[in-house]
Structure 1
């Protein structure tokens, strides 16, 4: 197979780009103990800061993703977004009040919203069909897992401990501006891969109503709502749950959270690669059912067995690429990809990232922290059920079905 140099170069740049989005998005979680002590903040403030970013991210992703599809080139919108969220993250180090921090986090969410839809539309266009799922999985899941969940914590905590939390925020400008330069220098203005341009399913118009009439898009929107509920509930409440409800030490909790980060990175590309060969739909169903077990592991497993069991069951982030990027990109025409991805991500963030954590927090105060694990498990179980109705889009599997139909075998 001929090596596509541009495809690999684009993959590397967008891997760094979206990974750094989560470096910035999760930075406040890791730095919050330092920020809270200085600005006199509490856990309610942390919840509000997370919610406003998710809300801004959702609305921005839907709106700017649609606008990007109307432009001849998405490259410059992506560059502006990267520079904007980098500056907003750095400016978070200058705040003196909760309100000013809330404003900068909201602005950062607006800037970050279109990055995923645009990045995935670019990588879908440039990818060889046989590795499209793998490429999109590396960008969508492995990158934030590696850069946001594994690399970010030790770097940010070291900077905050030795130089202060404000310096840690300022330092985020350096990689962000470097990534913006790489996009400007090495990403093409236009490129549409022939296999996408003549995909088997098309949407004639880019408006939201037309997209939602497509079964796969509607299902992906619904799956996003419940799957993001699974993810945000787990990532938000697990550290507190492990220490308060399970009585684990901070060291044990840290090890378990590290296992989640490694699982995020590994499953992020493994599941996407498997879907290239065995199909998107069966991998969605199988690994979403496995992800349903992860909250139960956190709820009932002992400390010794929890680490490997968490790694084996935290498979959901690998499925995110399928319903949030790969399946939509293979369902609609190239000119609607960013719109579709922005819609799926945006609605999911509104429900799963903004509404569900608030409900889970109130229920945890009323019924105990254990209830959040049942909420998370229920979210992925509903997502698995909805996945049963998806229409297969993987080129390898669609090609097999087409050839069998022509031969009269099905």
Structure 2
């Protein structure tokens, strides 16, 4: 949907540069990260998680609709900053709820469904098939009424009482590095060189992640010990 927003000649488009598009992604990820790191510990301390998830979900939907009404870059950026604040409160807390409510033997399945049903099956597969034609024929702003969000699965290797806190920290760090820095850098590279530059950036980051993953070790004695 971002290319439709960026087209200067597109009816209802904002004529954004690649750098501005990168800032829209970076801004959301920044507030998402900060919110996740703040709301996770708060929910662990209060012990009341469901109200936080419900309020944050409704807030995210409202902010998504506001983004569809934005008529300028600054208004759209503000809406996405608010979306990040709301979304950051959903993920750590919802996964902490799964950890506390689901038996350990079914926890992996529950985490997989929680992550992939909404984000990958609906958000990454179904949403583009539905939203791109809508944006093409009716304008990109109408898609603001179809908010879909993803959630990243926390591991079952921590104290359930601290799940939301630690998940918020992990997601927050990931968002700061990948969600804040990468879109900003990708947009700047696209403006400086061409649209293939962000693709090469993705290749480099993927290789770095691949190498780093080779050094991961399971730190849970209960799960790493022979059975």
TM-score range (shorter-chain normalised) is: 0.7 to 0.9
Unaligned runs of 5+ residues in structure 2 are none
Q: Which residue is 2:50 aligned to? A: 75
C-alpha contact (below 8 Å) 2:63/2:80 kept by paired residues: yes
Equivalences for residues 5-404 of structure 1 within 5 A: 28-29=1-2, 32=5, 37-42=11-16, 43-169=18-144, 171-172=145-146, 325-326=154-155, 329-330=156-157, 332-363=158-189, 372-387=198-213, 388-393=215-220, 397-398=223-224, 401=226, 403=227
- Alpha-carbon separation, structure 2, partners of 1:70 and 1:335: 9
Deviation per CA, 1:131-162, whole angstroms, max 9, x where unpaired? 32232122224431111111112222333344
Task: Output the aligned Cα RMSD.
Answer: 3.1
CA 1:39–1:348 in 2, change beyond 3 Å: closer, same or farther? same
- Alpha-carbon separation, structure 2, partners of 1:154 and 1:336: 38
- Alpha-carbon separation, structure 1, partners of 2:88 and 2:60: 10
More helix by share: 1
- Alpha-carbon separation, structure 1, partners of 2:115 and 2:126: 16
Please report how far the alpha carbon of residue 345 of structure 1 lies from its aligned counterpart in structure 2 after TM superposition.
0.7
CA 1:365–1:40 in 2, change beyond 3 Å: closer, same or farther? closer
C-alpha contact (below 8 Å) 2:19/2:187 kept by paired residues: no
Unaligned runs of 5+ residues in structure 1 are 1-27, 177-319, 404-410
Q: Which residue is 1:11 aligned to? A: none
C-alpha contact (below 8 Å) 2:37/2:169 kept by paired residues: yes
C-alpha contact (below 8 Å) 1:82/1:112 kept by paired residues: yes
Bigger RCO (CA 8 Å, 6+ sep): 2
C-alpha contact (below 8 Å) 1:31/1:156 kept by paired residues: no
- Alpha-carbon separation, structure 2, partners of 1:74 and 1:335: 11
C-alpha contact (below 8 Å) 1:116/1:140 kept by paired residues: no
- Alpha-carbon separation, structure 2, partners of 1:363 and 1:151: 30
Deviation per CA, 1:93-114, whole angstroms, max 9, x where unpaired? 2222221111111111110012
Please report how far the alpha carbon of residue 344 of structure 1 lies from its aligned counterpart in structure 2 after TM superposition.
0.6
Give me the TM-score of the superposition, normalised by structure 2. Answer: 0.82
CA 1:356–1:40 in 2, change beyond 3 Å: closer, same or farther? closer
